[in-house]
Structure 1
């Protein structure tokens, strides 16, 4: 179910606060300021800090998983699916919206110390691995849950490394890295 316009406004503001100020800066007051809303607006929708973090984690994961799901659908219907090319284009779009990736990284680090958040992110990770396995099937690659999980972990590392590169170098870095991963982990044609 889509978020109400006000909740969407708050989650968008929270995303930017988290990306710009880190988890310590993610407060109800900071979200209200960023959203341009009166103090107390965020806490009316998300009572506790934990609720704010959980809602933001779900929102970030849903946005990213939605992109991957659309990619899987596109590749499943393509005459000659190009998984590497499609992944490069998707990752470049994500890098252009760096706040999503930075927020995901911040929340992932927080989950290493928070079992409840870890459980939420583990479920989302499982869904992502399933989508990647579906993409591998659509592109004719040798696949298994273990290969898909290794690709997801590798892609996470590539995205993190790409975030640290100057914008002008990201495209070439993504292409080179995903070609290497595609050849090594994704396996050959599944025939």
Structure 2
């Protein structure tokens, strides 16, 4: 296996773009090579098979969407409150929008995981670890809401993000709406207000 870490990262990022644009069926070594602009056969020197490529893409997406600790520290300066939770959820939406390709690729990986037990196990472990870490952060930061409130907030935000990125017109309601951003912003506030108790 080739050992150039920068080249490996570039190939995995190319795989993420292929996943987002073409779905799991389009994720081939040849497609990754073409997207990365490297000679045919390069990817096969870095990944043992497609399963390895799926796993590496999942791990890389996690790295890409993990916030910078310095920004987290800055975001957490205000006193714990429902308003702070709302701001954090808005920031979550913004981070996903900033890496829309990564978010869509992760959706493709989740669908592919229904057909690949090893990928399902790996994604389950990874997502569970992220949820557990977020729950710990919520608790230790003194944010309002118990463990059940956190879980409902997680599930509600997961659904909101799914609709926002796949069927955004649905969130605007039957009459349409002006500005997807303002609609999502309002829905984030609604979710937090209904789920998280006042400080």
Match of 1:183 in 2: 193
Q: Is the Cα contact below 8 Å between 1:162 and 1:173 reproduced in 2?
A: no
CA distance in 2, matches of 1:135, 1:90: 14
2:180 alignment counterpart? 170
Of the candidates 138, 143, 147, which is equivalent to residue 140 of structure 1?
143
Change (3 A) 1:48 1:16: same
Instruction: Trace 1:1-12 onto structure 2 (pairs within 5 A).
Output: 4-12=5-13
The answer to whether the 8 A contact 2:85-2:143 is kept is no
**Structure with the larger helix share:** 1
Q: 1:74 to 1:115 in 2, by over 3 A?
A: farther
- What TM-score comes out, normalization by structure 1 length? 0.84
CA distance in 2, matches of 1:115, 1:125: 15
Instruction: Say which one has the larger Rg.
Output: 2
- Out of 125, 149, 159, which is 2:127 matched to? 125
Measured in 2, the distance between the counterparts of 1:148 and 1:43 equals: 42
1:70, distance to aligned residue in structure 2 (A)? 6.3
After superposition, the Cα gap between the structure-2 partners of 1:133 and 1:74, relative to the gap in structure 1 and judged at 3 Å, is farther
Number of residue-to-residue matches in the alignment:
183
Whether the aligned pair in 2 keeps the contact of 1:68 and 1:131 (CA below 8 Å) is no
TM-score, normalised by the number of residues in structure 2: 0.81
Aligned alpha-carbon RMSD (Å): 2.3
The aligned residue for residue 19 of structure 1 is 20
**Cα distance in 1 for residues equivalent to 2:89 and 2:163:** 16
Secondary structure (helix, strand or coil) at the match of 1:67 reads coil
Alpha-carbon distance in structure 2 between the residues aligned to 1:150 and 1:4: 39
